[in-house]
Amino acid sequence: MSSIARRKVRDLLAAEAGQEVLAKGWVRTKRGNKQIKFIALNDGSCVDNIQVVADVENFDEALLGRITTGASIWVKGQLVESVGSGQAVEIHAEEIGVYGDCDPMKYPIQKKGATLEYFRTVAHLRPRTNTFGAVLRIRHAMAFAIHKFFNDKGFVYLNTPLITESDCEGAGQMFQVTTLDLDKPIPRNKKGEVDYSGDFFGKQTSLTVSGQLEGELGATALGEIYTFGPTFRAENSNTPRHLAEFWMIEPEMSFYDIEDNMNLAEEFIKYLVKYALDNCGSDLRFLNDKYDNELIDRLKSVIATDFVRLEYTEGIRILEEAVKNGTQFEYPVYWGVDLQSEHERYLVEKHFCKPVILTGYPKEIKAFYMKQDDNGKTVRAMDILFPKIGEIIGGSEREWSLEKLERRIDELGMSRKNLEWYIDTRRFGSVPHSGFGLGFERLLLFVTGMSNIRDVIPFPRTPKNAEF
């Protein structure tokens, strides 16, 4: 093979004609006639293919026969101006080699008219499609932009543990981690409770539902931190917006009140959407044209608009008004209710037609750590609700009074013993602070316009599904 360096398709498509090049990748299609073959080659560097033109007389027939959809090949040749391929340049092949054959009769992702549901069953190969290539490149760009946003602001990336003893959200949706032998009788103490002293950690542990509590330890030392890692929830929600394993970004900031928190969250989302528009143009255009022709307009409009800021109480009033005027919801609406996604979507999609930041929730429906308002009823929570998605961010100002925090933990019947380390932040130099969690895949649903969360993560984990 030639000694010239391989160049990626993305780079070649922007290169000057009139030079010898080497490309490598997977065949998307081959067409042509007895004299000439046109091979569309993709290497994952961008959604576009480069066209390879091969004169049949210059190549062995058997070799050309092996160039089928899905096969991996290398091509050396001249980069020339293209006449009709829809691209500025194409490669006139001089040498072609096959790395790996691909039987077109058996290749699972070649099926005509395959649906997104079908592709989930072949998630190990779906990154080779245009759709998943685009989604995964955007996912990468968003991860990069998240680190850039916080790094530029001087936040410290803090790695919080995945195995933990505490249920941050108090929702009891944790996956247990144990090395106890489940084939043997489970050891129990005199009271009949499971005895974890012989378990790996000597106590009951689970996969984390949130890195927030440890994030607060970081923020009350380093000032401003963020986490970005996987979180796990054993909620039996089979919806297009829930995963059992999802990624979350959780910034936590000392000296921020709820207003500062909302401002940062709004700035953050707008930054990410703008980053996608500025850096993922061809992938977004592809998804816009294939699935959702309002995608790019929707992204632009979110950057240009001020998010609505609304008290929960006012939100309930709007919903009750809607019910009076004939809107039918499946679930009841009254002050104190935990809003269902139909309610959230009514506010965002029907009433305001833009993102809404809802604050001042009843304390009963929110987690123990949230700052209590003086009225004794509400907490300084904030949820950001987005069109087509519902809740994309959940956050709050944190209760920083030792006395109030301890009282709330007791009221909820939680164990203080497991949380002494957390409560120490309020014992020693306690400060006002706030934070929030952005669901990475919920963000990606919005940015890519995909409608099922299983299609914006490479290998989705949902109830009864842990394939690959």
Residues 396-435 that bind ligand 4AD (CB under 6 A): 396, 435
Within 10 Å of residue 178's Cβ, how many Cβ atoms? Answer: 15
- 121 burial (CB, 10 Å; 0-12 / 13-18 / 19+) is exposed
Does residue number 133 form part of the binding site for Mg ion (CB under 5 A)?
no
What is the residue-wise DSSP string for 393-429? EEEEEB---HHHHHHHHHHTT--SGGGHHHHHHHHSS
Q: Which does 250 bind (CB under 5 to 8 A by kind): Mg ion, ligand 4AD, none?
A: ligand 4AD
Return the residue of 394, 439, 449, 460 that touches Mg ion, per CB under 5 A: 394
Give me the least distance between CB of 122 and ligand 4AD, in Å please: 23
Return the residue of 49, 68, 210, 288 that touches ligand 4AD, per CB under 6 A: 210
Q: How many Å separate Cα 361 from the centre of its chain?
A: 26
Does residue number 393 form part of the binding site for ligand 4AD (CB under 6 A)?
yes
Q: Which does 168 bind (CB under 5 to 8 A by kind): Mg ion, ligand 4AD, none?
A: ligand 4AD
Q: Which does 315 bind (CB under 5 to 8 A by kind): ligand 4AD, Mg ion, none?
A: none
Q: Under a CB-based contact definition with an 8 Å cutoff, are residues 286 and 42 in contact? A: no
Give me the least distance between CB of 391 and ligand 4AD, in Å please: 4
- 362 burial (CB, 10 Å; 0-12 / 13-18 / 19+) is middle
Give me the least distance between CB of 381 and Mg ion, in Å please: 8
Binding mask 29-68 for ligand 4AD (x = CB under 6 A): ----------------------------------------
Q: Which does 25 bind (CB under 5 to 8 A by kind): ligand 4AD, Mg ion, none?
A: none
Does residue number 217 form part of the binding site for ligand 4AD (CB under 6 A)?
no
Q: Which stretch binds Mg ion (CB under 5 A): 44-52, 129-137, 390-398, 453-461?
A: 390-398
DSSP state of 69: T
Does residue number 212 form part of the binding site for ligand 4AD (CB under 6 A)?
yes
Give me the least distance between CB of 390 and Mg ion, in Å please: 10
HEC secondary structure over 335-355: CCCCCCHHHHHHHHHHHHCCC
Tokens describing residue 129: 């499609």
Q: Under a CB-based contact definition with an 8 Å cutoff, are residues 228 and 157 in contact? A: yes
Residues 157-186 that bind ligand 4AD (CB under 6 A): 168-169
What is the residue-wise DSSP string for 4-68? SPB--HHHHHTSPSSEEEEEEEEEEEEEE-SSEEEEEEE-SSSSPPEEEEEEGGGS-HHHHHH--
CA pseudo-torsion sign 402, 405, 410, 413: negative
Q: Which stretch binds ligand 4AD (CB under 6 A): 40-48, 146-154, 190-198, 437-445?
A: 437-445
When the beta carbons of 247 and 286 are compared against ligand 4AD, the nearer one is 247
Task: Give the whole-angstrom CA distance, residue 244 versus residue 148.
Answer: 27
Binding site for Mg ion (CB under 5 A): 394
Binding site for ligand 4AD (CB under 6 A): 168-169, 210, 212, 233, 235, 242-243, 246, 248, 250, 391-396, 435-437, 439, 441-442
